[in-house]
Amino acid sequence: VNFGAFDRSTNCHQLIQLAAGNTNTLNLSVLGPNLLQAKAWIAYNSSGTFSNDATETLGYVVESAGPTTGRAAITFTVPNTATFRRTVRLRIAVDASTTYMLNGSYLQTVTPTAQLIYGQAEDYPVYITPPTVTWTGSAGTSSWSTAGNWSPAMVPPTDCDIVIPDASIDPV
């Protein structure tokens, strides 16, 4: 497991740090001859439990034709609504591809709580830093609570970093 320069295969105790609003690529390497399926989730609300819905699912990769590469890449963006400055959990599940049959049925798509047949699931700690929100005044008003006055276009939450440069319209 790695995110850019962060390589979990050599240091399993390091905290993964991700910034809200940033796009990341999760790279997985799997040993073995079988086609694979891989799925990942982050419990962004710091509940410690995972749902299989779009708000927590980072992505899904399935190999359906050989030969297997043993690699999967999942690209995702940390939402600006994630819980900041707390450790949340990342779960990665890898199993044999859904193209394989077991007892006459194709393997099911992995879920956060699935009992995997040939693979495994691992949890990793992730620390999410808040986005830096910059005042632009682009909405043409001085209203602090107008998302269009900020980049990215969001009203800054109380726990994010804010930049207010010299501008013709100052926030109120």
In tens, the pLDDT along 14-64 reads 788 898 888 999 888 777 667 788 889 999 988 888 887 888 999 888 876
Decide if 141 contacts 170 (C-beta within 8 A).
no
Q: Tens digits of per-residue pLDDT, 67-104?
A: 666 777 899 999 988 888 888 999 998 888 777 767 77
pTM, full prediction: 0.78
Cα of first residue to Cα of last residue in the chain, in angstroms, is: 45
For the chain, where are the alpha helices, taking DSSP H only?
none
* 168 to 39, 134, 165: CA distances (angstroms): 47, 14, 10
Decide if 74 contacts 58 (C-beta within 8 A).
yes
